[in-house]
Structure 1
Amino acid sequence: MMSKGGLGKKYLLINGLIIVMASTCLLPSIAQAENALLETTNGRIDELRIEILNPTQDDAYNHKLTDQVRKTLGMYPGDHVTEEKIDFNLMRIKRNPYLINATYIVESGVYGGINIKIQLQLKPETEQNLEKGILLDKEKKSFPVLYDANGKFLKAKLDLLGMYYANQNAWYGNPDTMLQGNPLVDGKPSGSGFDSWVESFVHSGLYGMYPLNETTYSYGGVSAIGSFSTGQEIFTNKTRSHLAVEDAFVGLVTGRTTLAGNRTLLNISAGREKFTLGDGMLIVNTASNGGERAALQSNARWSADFVGKVQLQYNRHRLELFSVDPDELPTLDTKTVINGINAQTNFQNTDLGFSYLTVPKSNAGYYMPDGQKHTREGLNVWDVRAHWKNTVANQSGVFLAGEYAQQTHDNIDMKAEGYSAEAGYSWPALKYSPSFSYRYAKFTGDNPKTERYERWDPLLSGGNGEQWVQGINHFKVVQDSNLISHRFQARFKPHQKIELVPQYWIFKADSDLNLGGNPALSFLQSKDYGQELNLTLKYFYSKKLYVHGHIAYTQPGDAVKLALNGQEKDWWSSMVFVRYAF
């Protein structure tokens, strides 16, 4: 017979088991309820809030952290999400070294969607690590951050590059013909046989931010570049060095986030800085290199003489007004100014963009078959672009991209077109994470049978060999005008820090009339420019040290062979540079 005390213990034990069982049963029920909520509402976000459970005393830091988390999440009211997407993005947030944990709560929203609350828990020592910078803690490991406290930020920049470049039969072994009348020629250019040179640059400056109030910051930057070249370059054999201001800009950024989680941002800046539109088909090379500035191939300089821009962003949607005066070489300065408006957005894994550009001032020439010359001044450009990719982590899938632009002119009858279409497939889970893509691009030439002018104006196109530098060697002869290109490209990652990018190019002319291009190719007897095979290697040794190299082989087509009377030679080039940057 059980004692009264034993009976009480048994009763308590049973009740404890009931409570524990009830609790454990409720846990999956809550999770299932959240899953059901995501399903029944189609995962549409009504509100997204971010809460720090143990905020610091530094309001500027708290605001910066929540804004950083919001950008990492990449989710805004109106978006549709799944449980997997929330979990995946939360995993990225948890990598923040100052966080103990990050969790979320899903509730039903008043508008038929869901409310998501992200809760952050900071590490106890975070408060002690808020103020840092070599001016505060005297520790060398803080460099290049000089000062970071209470929203005030000052950082030094130091960027060093050394490059070796070599050519075999540059200009297809015929520099006198291919460079006739080129103002960049100074002394002896590269040509038949083997030539090489070295170049380097040092880019150093200061960049900072200062809070005006809780949500408004002023910022700016100033820097200078010293560049050097010696040896047999493709345009000259003269040793040159140059020192000049690179960045010199100021700006103001302000924004607010509503209780629902909608984020609005206003950014205004003016001065010398780099500007890129889209992926660079229209604007990316806002400064010129080479000539008296040296560092031709390393592209040391990017900042325009002046960039003024006003950017308004609402969640994923951005609208910007801009004016660009590129920093051109003095011998080739066309006094061009480009004004424009750009709008872009993202939805369903798709980036969409639309731009309209005008050229109110320019001396750049358009050459007509009848001998007349017009200028770029008065040019109008309409551009639309789209890029879609599978964003599911580690999953194979298709990626697509396309862009179309049309050019007209206020003063002449003009209609030129530039467009591209790209399709590819990636296998990130396979060995070497391979991907393959094909891109077709066309930039129209002038049809001599029509009165209308159709030759595409490349403006400030370029960038690098994976943007709109089409062919490492070939781009030096025929740039993005009167050109049809086929690019076959692959990517391989044999190591986490190494990437290989082989490319095969086929180049054709759109029109036999090529006035405004290379003078030796002004009147083509064939539309076959040639083909190129190149291989690029990238080695990301560390966050500070990067090694890049290429080898390229270019075979001239009939258009070049006929222009050179059968004296052409195949063109090889190779390059390697080491870049160290803080």
Structure 2
Amino acid sequence: MKSLFNASLLFLFISLMACPVFGQIDQIFGIEVVPNTVEGSPIRSVVILLEKDGKEYLADSLEIKAFYDAFNIKPGSIFRQFSVDLAISVFLKQEEIKSASYKVYTPEISGPVVLVIRSSFWTEEEDKKIVAKKSLPFPSLIETEKSKLTLILNGAIGLYHDQNAFFSKGAEFTQGNPVANNPAGIGPRFWGESFLEPGIAGITKLGKTKIFPYGAVTFLVSGRNSSDIYSEGTALKGTIERLYGGILLPQLGKKQQLHIDLSAGGQFFQLNDGFLFSRFSGSANAGERGSVFLNSRTAYQMTAWAKVHWKKFNFSAFYLEPQELFKDRQSDTRYLGGGISYNDNRRLDLGLHYITIHSSKSTYATPNDRIPLEGLQTINPKVWVNNIAGKGFFIKSEYAFQRNSNADMVANAWYLGGGLVKQTWKKSPSLYYRFAFMQGDDPTTTRFERFDILQGGGLGNWIQGINFKKIIGDGNLLTHRIEVKAYLAKNMELSFDYFFLSADSKSNLGSLAPISTLQDKNFGQEFTTTYRYFFKRNFLFLGLFSWAKPGKAISSSFESNVYDWLTFQASTFMFF
């Protein structure tokens, strides 16, 4: 391993001294986040910045390959904080290196991350002075080129105000919901939520082998101070959040291009940008957990995950068990899946996954009978093309085909989005349009055709209206989304989203009772403003305002008036 690092670093050092022909970089990659908060997220791209004469430059393709070989951290793989931490520790041991560090950015709230690695080299004129070892910053306890042990301390506090929640029909929309003992209706509902998550995590190398066992455990306490839009009164709940272990096997094979990561336990999981599986859908936060808006719990109850990275390809297999709210009402839904993806870190990000519901007690309501979730199979190809013609244009699309081996069920869903990102412009503006189709059932046929979003949604890309999401779900849904986004500063993002939502079919069985049969297909519109401000390195302020206006599909389902639904949210997060 050491010879590989030395060869890679020597190549980089010579290239830098030869005054390479790449331009100075000055762009925004997204909002910086603390690494432990995006553990398990897909890596969308890796950016390597080299310092020369006090200025930063973007590494060219040959230098990026050298870094890949040394770090073994590549686009398309899963972000593991310890993998990057150890790579940086080993990297800093090389005598040519003056400094090295990394940061993680999220261009979208729940999307894949961008990993930015910064490095500088000693010049011929500089003395390679031995710098005194600095004390480890909090929360690190131990950090060497073979091991790391760190504390985890996350938390948040938020204030929330909803006006006319559920379009003033809370009692009707929440009938049968076991946590809705005091649903909001016409008028205001104001409350606060908070959580604290302490824990510890570590990784180490076993002797002279290439085996790195790792693991983490955290305990999360969450609560609210008064009634939220579902439940009455205060709430306080403490449970184990993360509890997992794994093994990293890096740089295997003759050319050391094979990287294996095996893990199991309560941990985060996300597929692509959350279309079918979102990290924010892995757990439950309502009722006695008192975190319905902070969404503090996101780890799946069980995630067994095998990942193999070879060159620009990633292979994965996974078993997922979501964490459900009530122990005596478990659906015992289990997912099995796997797939292959390709990412060249320049233009193409391709993937193909297969997922099946291995077991479940739940059923779908159909016009004739109930059919089981167990046996549902989903095939999910993905095509993302970035920076088309070098002008900042991009296209994103996924398709999902579903069938059920235990019932006559076939359904389809897809989305196609495109836009423009100008990272080199002032404020780094972007424009994005997306149309998403999720099939509804045709009651005139014997086949059931309503699409099941699986564990998609959560926050960010696939919430499809932060208010509407709470009543219409994602099956039988057509959405137009327009997003305009800009960075007021490198750590400050402002975005505006517009959603127009309608049904594919007037037969809406599987949705909430008041809208199970529709008189009209127009659900309505929603306007959302989101503000993210990352400050003091370990704190994030998230402000949100959303205005949902009901369409005829909602208003015609009630004899009395429905009213616009407004939500105001202000949350401050702490991450260590």
Confirm or deny that 1:100 pairs with 2:122: yes
What SS is found at the alignment partner of 1:514?
coil
CA contact (8 A) 1:219 1:250 kept: yes
Percent sequence identity is 27
Compared with structure 1, are the counterparts of its residues 405 and 47 closer, same or farther at alpha carbon in structure 2 (3 Å cutoff)? closer
Separation in 1 of the partners of 2:258 and 2:350? 19
Q: Deviations over 1:147-168 (max 9, x none)?
A: 1125121000111100001111
**Cα distance in structure 2, aligned partners of 1:122 and 1:564:** 78
In 1, are the aligned partners of 2:372 and 2:406 still within 8 Å (CA)? no
Tell me, in whole angstroms, the C-alpha distance in 2 between the residues paired with 1:358 and 1:96.
43
Structure 1 match to 2:375: 378
Distance 1:211 1:32, change over 3 A: closer
**What pairs up with 1:257-276 in 2 under 5 angstroms?**
263-276=257-270
Counterpart Cα distance in 2 of 1:251 and 1:488: 40
Query: Which residue is 1:561 aligned to?
Result: 555
Output the amino acid matched with 2:367: P
- Tell me the residue number matched to 1:311: 307
Give the Cα separation in 1 of the matches to 2:557 and 2:202. Answer: 54
What is the number of residues matched between the two proteins? 486
Between 1:291-300 and 1:426-435, the stretch displaced more is: 426-435
Measure the CA separation in 1 of the matches of 2:127 and 2:341: 35
Which residue among 564, 568, 576 is the counterpart of 1:574? 568
Q: Report if the CA contact (8 A) 2:379-2:401 is conserved.
A: yes
TM-score by structure 1 length?
Answer: 0.78
Write the distance in 2 (CA, Å) between the matches of 1:387 and 1:221.
Answer: 33
Q: Which residue of 2 aligns with 1:346?
A: 343
User: How big is the shift at 1:542?
Assistant: 2.8
CA distance 1:564–1:258, shift in 2 (3 Å): same
Distance in 1 of aligned mates of 2:232 and 2:484:
36
Q: Once the two structures are superposed, what CA deviation does each residue of 1:464-516 show, in whole Å capped at 9, x if it has no partner?
A: 1x311110111011111110010000101122221111001000001111111
1:132/1:149 contact within 8 Å kept: no
Asked if 2 retains the 8 angstrom alpha-carbon contact of 1:209 and 1:220, the reply is: yes
Answer yes or no: is 1:544 the counterpart of 2:572: no
Greater Cα radius of gyration, structure 1 or 2: 1
SS at match of 1:303: coil
Q: Which amino acid aligns with 1:415?
A: V
Q: 1:524 aligns to what?
A: 518
1:390 and 2:395 equivalent? no
- Distance in 1 (CA, whole Å) between partners of 2:88 and 2:493 is 39
For residue 270 of structure 1, give the secondary structure of its aligned residue in structure 2: strand
CA distance change for structure 1 residues 124 and 217 in 2, over 3 Å: closer, same or farther? farther
Contact 1:223 1:245 in 2 (8 A): yes
SS in 1 for 2:462: coil
Aligned residues of 2:397 and 2:416 also touching (Cα < 8 A): yes
Letter matched to residue 467 of structure 2: N
1:257 to partner: Cα distance: 6.0
- Alpha-carbon distance in structure 2 between the residues aligned to 1:574 and 1:47: 46
CA contact (8 A) 2:91 2:100 kept: no
Matched, 1:362 2:360: yes
Change (3 A) 1:45 1:235: closer
CA distance in 2, matches of 1:521, 1:249: 41
For 1:62, the aligned partner's letter is V
Does the CA-based 8 Å contact 2:171-2:184 persist in structure 1? Answer: no
Secondary structure of 1:288's match? coil
| TM-superposed deviation, 1:61 | 4.4
Query: Corresponding residue for 1:136?
Result: none
The question of whether the paired residues in 2 share the 8 Å contact of 1:160 and 1:579 is answered with yes
| Shift in CA distance, 430/59, structure 1 to aligned 2, threshold 3 Å | closer
Q: Hey, what does 1:473 align to over in structure 2?
A: 467
Return closer, same or farther for 1:232/1:266 CA change in 2, 3 Å cut-off. same
- Among 137, 150, 167, which residue is 1:172 paired with? 167
Mapped pair 1:494 → 2:494: no
Secondary structure of 1:292's counterpart equals helix
For residue 223 of structure 1, what is the aligned residue in structure 2?
Answer: 218
Tell me the SS of whatever aligns to 2:119.
coil
Between the aligned partners of 1:251 and 1:523, the Cα distance in structure 2 is 47
Report Cα offsets for 1:93-123 as digits up to 9, x if no partner.
Answer: 6x336x4269xxxxxxxxxxxxxxxxxx995
In 2, are the aligned partners of 1:132 and 1:148 still within 8 Å (CA)? no
Q: Deviations over 1:65-103 (max 9, x none)?
A: 78x99999xxxxxxxxxxxxxxxxxxx76x336x4269x
Aligned partners of 1:225 and 1:244 also within 8 Å: yes
Distance 1:51 1:491, change over 3 A: closer
1:402-439 deviation line (CA, Å, top 9, x unaligned): 00001101111111111101000122233322111101
Amino acid at match of 2:343: N
Distance 1:391 1:498 in 2: 26
Instruction: Name the CA distance, whole Å, in 2 between partners of 1:546 and 1:46.
Output: 31
Task: Verify the 8 A CA contact 1:132 1:147 in the aligned structure 2.
Answer: no
Which protein is richer in helix relative to its size?
1
Partner of 1:286: 282
Query: Is contact 2:101-2:119 (8 Å) kept?
Result: no
Q: CA deviation at 1:561?
A: 0.4
Given that residues 90 and 145 in structure 2 are in contact (C-alpha distance below 8 angstroms), is that contact kept between their aligned partners in structure 1?
no
Q: How far is 1:256 from its partner?
A: 1.5
How far did 1:442 drift?
1.0
| Corresponding residue number in structure 1 for 2:201 | 207
- Inter-CA distance 344–182: structure 2 relative to 1 (3 Å threshold): same
Mark the CA change 1:274 to 1:64 in structure 2 (over 3 Å): closer, same or farther.
farther
Letter in 2 for 1:374: I
Distance of aligned partners of 1:123 and 1:550 in 2 relative to their CA distance in 1, 3 Å threshold: farther
| Structure 2 Cα separation of the partners of residues 449 and 238 of structure 1 | 45
In structure 2, relative to structure 1, the CA distance for the partners of 1:65 and 1:452 (3 Å cut) is: farther
Does 2:151 align with 1:125? no
Partner of 1:239: 234
- Name structure 1 gaps, 5 residues minimum: 1-26, 34-42, 53-57, 73-91, 103-120, 134-141
Determine the structure 1 residue equivalent to 2:9. Answer: none
Residue 419 of structure 2 aligns to which amino acid in structure 1? G
Please tell me whether the aligned partners of residues 47 and 259 of structure 1 are also in contact (alpha carbons under 8 angstroms): no
Q: Bigger relative contact order, structure 1 or 2, given CA contacts below 8 A and separation 6+? A: 2
Question: Is 1:251 the equivalent of 2:274?
Answer: no
User: In 2, are the aligned partners of 1:396 and 1:429 still within 8 Å (CA)?
Assistant: no
CA distance change for structure 1 residues 350 and 426 in 2, over 3 Å: closer, same or farther?
A: same
Q: Secondary structure at the match of 1:390?
A: strand
- Structure 2: tracts of 5 or more residues without a match: 1-14, 22-60, 72-85, 103-115
Q: Is the 8 A contact 1:256 1:263 kept in 2?
A: yes
TM-score (normalizing by structure 2): 0.78
Instruction: Tell me the SS of whatever aligns to 1:276.
Output: coil
The 1:64/1:353 distance shift into structure 2, 3 A limit, reads farther
Deviation at 1:281, TM superposition (A): 1.1
Q: Distance in 2 between matches of 1:254 and 1:364?
A: 38
> Any idea what the Cα deviations from partners look like across 1:362-412, whole Å, max 9, x if unmatched?
122201102x111210111100112121299xx752011000001101111
Change (3 A) 1:298 1:45: closer
Structure 1 letter corresponding to 2:122? I
Q: What secondary structure, in the 3-state scheme, does the structure 2 residue paired with 1:189 have?
A: coil
1:213 deviates by: 3.5
Which residue of structure 1 aligns with residue 292 of structure 2? 296
Q: Which amino acid aligns with 1:255?
A: P
Letter in structure 2 aligned against 1:321: A
Which region of structure 1 is more displaced relative to structure 2, 517-526 or 213-222?
213-222
| Pairwise CA distance, 1:200 | 0.3
Amino acid in structure 1 at the alignment position of 2:148: F
Equivalent in the alignment of 1:22: none
